Structure 1
Amino acid sequence: DQQDKAIAIAKAAAESVKVMMPGEASPGAIGPISNGNQYQKVQDLIETGIKEGATLVAGGPGRPEGFNKGYFARPTVFANVTNDMTIAREEIFGPVLVMIPYEDVDDAVEMANDTVYGLAGYVQGAEDEARKVANRIRAGQIQVNGARPDFTAPFGGYGQSGNGREWGEHGFEEFLEVKAVMGYKAA
């Protein structure tokens, strides 16, 4: 079944990620979480996922092997998540993948849009179909088939993922004050 294949791939990927000190990091490695509060939030959400019945596939709470201090988190994968679980509803901002099964594309898009957030999304599939799906998702930026970031494209979220845009021409507009003056004839 496709879900079992995806779970196996995600497990292998998470287990292959190296956690390293920032000065030693190599491509594909991750470093620590930005601060203690965010580290604790990630740990609490991992614990919540376990308590709410998601299947822990890789990682889990605590620091990776070899790290007894610092804000290092284990690359974690959850499967069999439902869209009503906390880990599906909250922006985790840590090395945690949440896998939610879906019946068809319409079901997947409905779940993707069933959120108060909407910073970014990712769509994989046949190019024409993936672009159609990307257009249906309410998020500030969608990457199709692993597209790399484009710093000339606007970046910013929908809903509670923020107001305004950064990067590109739209980012400059955040610093402008527009004025309309009426009553003058064209020169």
Structure 2
Amino acid sequence: MRKFVLVVLLIAIMLFGSEEQRVFAFLATSSKKKLLTEHYILLTSLIQQILVRYFPYFMNYTELQELQHVEKLVTLQCVEGWTRKMLSEGIPLIDLIEKADPDDRVTNVIFKSTDGFTTTLTLDYIGERNIILADKLNGIELPPAQGFPFIVVAKDKWGYKWARWVEEIELSDDDKYRDYWEEFGY
């Protein structure tokens, strides 16, 4: 019953809601997500065949805000068939990754969210498409219920690759890693 009510509410917002409500309707969630008291991004990397969980690279929210931000017009495509065009603003991921001084063997980037969700993108894809870690959509800062502090804007990928509530970015050479939805066959 709760899911039905949520779906009806989302449809009503998309049809009759304000511009701000429609911007975030595609990100709606049925439960509150835990947020970090101090918002930060943790980058882990490969060094001497060991994932650097013992010596990670941290940046807090304030430090991340001081990095160069870019804007990109992108289209989010849902597997359910709908699309939304939006202006995203955030940090070029490749710039952030380079700060962690990754090992040459890194091929994949795994994004981990505060709610346990994971998704992965190749390092080549991130660099070639200049993928960003967004903190604003259509000029509006992401509210906590919709993904604050960051969402991965995975241009040209289905919406399930757009991780939100990102708290950790793992740089990996594991080509067999299966993220949240891939575990279910997507």
- TM-score bracket, normalised by the shorter chain, equals under 0.3
More helix by share: 1
Larger % of strand: which?
A: 2
Normalising by the residue count of structure 1, what TM-score does the alignment of the two structures yield?
0.24
Pair member with larger Rg: 1
